[in-house]
Structure 1
Amino acid sequence: MNGETIYDTVVVGGGPAGATAASSLAKSGRSVLLLDRGGRVKPCGGAIPPRLIQDFAIPDELLAARVTSARMFAPSDRIADMPIENGFVGMVDRQEFDDWLRRRAGADGAVLRTGLFEGLSRDADGIVTLECREKGSDGAPFTLRARSVIGADGARSGVARAAGVKGADRMRYVFAYHEIVRSPTHGSFDPARCEVHYKAKVSPDFYGWVFPHGPTTSVGLGSANKGFALRRATTELREATGLAGAETIRREGAPIPLKPLRRWDDGESVLLAGDAAGVVAPASGEGIYYAMLGGQLAGEAVERFLATGQTSALRDARRRFMKSHGQVFAVLGIMQRYWYISDGRRERFVTICRDQDVQRLTWAAYMTKELVRAKPLVHLRIFCKSMGHLTGILSA
Structure 2
Amino acid sequence: MFDVVVIGGGPAGATAAEDLARSGKKVAIIDREGRVKPCGGAIPPRLIEDFLIPDEQLVAKVTTARMISPTGRQVDIPIENGFVGMVDRKDFDPFLRQRARQAGAHSITGTYLRIERDLGQTNVIYRDKTTGEERTLPTRLIIGADGARSKVAKSEVPGGDKIPYVIAYHEIIEAPTASALYDPLRCDVIYDGTISPDFYGWVFPHGKSTSVGMGTGIEGIDLKKATADLRTASGLNECKTIRREGAPIPLKPMDRWDNGRDVILAGDAAGVVAPSSGEGIYYAMLSGRVAATAACTFLASGRVKDFLLARKLFMREHKSVFKVLGAMQNAYYRDDDRRERFVSLCHDVDVQKLTFEAYMNKRLIKARPMAHLKIGLKNLAHLTRLVSANHI
Structure 1 and Structure 2 fold alike (TM over 0.5): yes
Give the CA deviation at 1:303: 0.7
Give the CA deviation at 1:235: 0.6
1:226 and 2:219 equivalent?
A: yes
Give the CA deviation at 1:75: 0.4
* Root-mean-square deviation over aligned CA pairs: 1.1
Among residues 312, 327, 340, which one is paired with 2:333 in the alignment? 340
Alignment-mate amino acid for residue 79 of structure 1:
Q
1:45 and 2:40 equivalent?
A: yes
Alignment-mate amino acid for residue 36 of structure 1:
D
Alignment-mate amino acid for residue 311 of structure 1:
V
SS at match of 2:67: strand
Alignment-mate amino acid for residue 182 of structure 1:
E
- 2:161 maps to 169
Alpha-carbon distance in 2 for matches of 1:160, 1:351: 40
Among residues 130, 134, 137, which one is paired with 1:144 in the alignment? 137
Give the CA deviation at 1:381: 1.8
| Residue-by-residue CA offset, 1:102-140 (whole Å, 9 max, x unaligned) | 000000000111000011111223x3111111338x822
- 1:134 maps to 128
SS at match of 1:357: helix
- 1:327 maps to 320
Give the CA deviation at 1:258: 1.2
Alpha-carbon distance in 2 for matches of 1:385, 1:338: 14
1:64 and 2:56 equivalent?
A: no
- 2:119 maps to 124
Alpha-carbon distance in 1 for matches of 2:207, 2:54: 16
Matches within 5 A, 1:333-372: 333-372=326-365
- 1:102 maps to 97
Between 1:139-148 and 1:96-105, the stretch displaced more is: 139-148
Give the CA deviation at 1:373: 1.2
Structure 2: 5+ residue stretches without partners: none
Identity %: 58
SS at match of 2:153: helix
Alignment-mate amino acid for residue 49 of structure 2:
Q
- 1:290 maps to 283
Give the CA deviation at 1:187: 2.7
Alpha-carbon distance in 2 for matches of 1:350, 1:364: 18
Give the CA deviation at 1:186: 4.1
SS at match of 2:188: strand
Give the CA deviation at 1:159: 1.3
SS at match of 1:115: strand
Alpha-carbon distance in 1 for matches of 2:249, 2:209: 22
Give the CA deviation at 1:19: 0.2
Alpha-carbon distance in 2 for matches of 1:20, 1:206: 29
1:153 and 2:146 equivalent?
A: yes
Runs of 4+ residues over 3 Å off in structure 1: none
Alpha-carbon distance in 1 for matches of 2:388, 2:76: 18
Give the CA deviation at 1:380: 2.1
Alpha-carbon distance in 1 for matches of 2:286, 2:366: 23
- 1:312 maps to 305
| Residue-by-residue CA offset, 1:266-318 (whole Å, 9 max, x unaligned) | 11010000000000000000000000000000001001111111111111000
1:244 and 2:243 equivalent?
A: no
Alpha-carbon distance in 2 for matches of 1:266, 1:386: 40
SS at match of 2:161: helix
| Residue-by-residue CA offset, 1:112-171 (whole Å, 9 max, x unaligned) | 11000011111223x3111111338x8222121111100000011111223x20100111
Among residues 26, 36, 43, which one is paired with 2:31 in the alignment? 36
SS at match of 1:306: helix
- 1:79 maps to 74
| Residue-by-residue CA offset, 1:320-360 (whole Å, 9 max, x unaligned) | 11111011101111111110000000000000011111000
Alpha-carbon distance in 2 for matches of 1:310, 1:246: 56
Between 1:186-195 and 1:91-100, the stretch displaced more is: 186-195
SS at match of 2:114: strand
Alpha-carbon distance in 2 for matches of 1:99, 1:318: 26
- 1:180 maps to 172
Structure 1: 5+ residue stretches without partners: 1-5
- Number of matched pairs: 388
TM-score by length of 2: 0.97
Q: Does the 8 Å contact 2:178/2:184 carry over to 1?
A: no
- 1:11 maps to 6
Alignment-mate amino acid for residue 84 of structure 1:
I
